[in-house]
Amino acid sequence: MTRHARTLPPTRNARDAGFTLVEMMVVILIIGLLATVVALNVLPSQDRARVTKAAADIATLESALDLFRLDIARYPTTDEGLEALVTPPARLSPEEAARFREGGYVRSLPQDPWGRPYQFISPAENAPFDLYSLGADGRPGGQGNDADIRSGQ
C-alpha cells in the first residue's frame, strides 16, 4: 500500500509578512485622490457658508438697530457705533437712558466670518445707516467672495 503524503499549505516567513512598497504606494495614492475630491467639494461650500453667515449677522444687527430706534427714537451715530447695541452710549439723555433696554439689544457684537468687526455708518448717504462686512479680502468693493456684504441687500 502506498501512502499519500498530505501537503500542507506553505507558511510565510516573517520577512514575507506585511505590505510591499508598491501596495503602500497604491494606498497612499488612493487616499490622496479621495482627499483632493473632498477638498474640491467642501471648500466652495465653506465660502458660501461664510457669505450666508455674514448676511444673517447683518440681518440680526439690523433688527437690533430697529429696536434701538423704537426705544430711543433714533439710530446710534457712527461715533457711538454698534457698541450702542450692547451698552448704553454715554451721550444718552436721562430719558433715553431710562428707555434703553435692560441687557442691551444684542448680547455681544459678532465678528464677521473673516474675523473683522462689521462696519457701521450712521447716518449714511442714502439711508438711515449702512451696515456691512468688507468680505473675504477686507477691502471695499470686490467681486465674488471678496464682495462687500451690505444691509438691505
Task: Read off the pLDDT of each residue in 81-95 and give the average, rounded to a whole number.
Answer: 94
b/e map 58-76, b = 16+ CB within 10 Å: beebeebbeebeeebeebb
User: How does the average pLDDT of the chain come out, rounded?
Assistant: 88
Whole-model pTM? Answer: 0.72
The confidence score (pLDDT) of residue 58 equals 96
> pLDDT tens digits for 12-41?
665 666 788 898 999 999 999 999 888 887
pLDDT at 5 over 80: no
> pLDDT tens digits for 31-82?
999 998 888 877 778 888 999 999 999 999 999 999 999 999 999 999 999 9
Neighbours of 48 (CB within 10 A): 10
123 upstream amide cis, omega within 30 of 0: yes
CA distances from 139 to 102, 106, 119, 135 (A): 36, 26, 11, 7
> pLDDT tens digits for 92-117?
999 999 999 999 999 999 999 999 99
Task: Read off the pLDDT of each residue in 125-142 and give the average, rounded to a whole number.
Answer: 91
- Kind of pairing, strands 149-150 and 130-133? antiparallel
Q: 18 is written with which cell numbers?
A: 506585511
Backbone φ, ψ for residue 140 (5° rounding): -60, 145
Domains and CATH numbers, the chain: 34-150 (3.30.700.10)
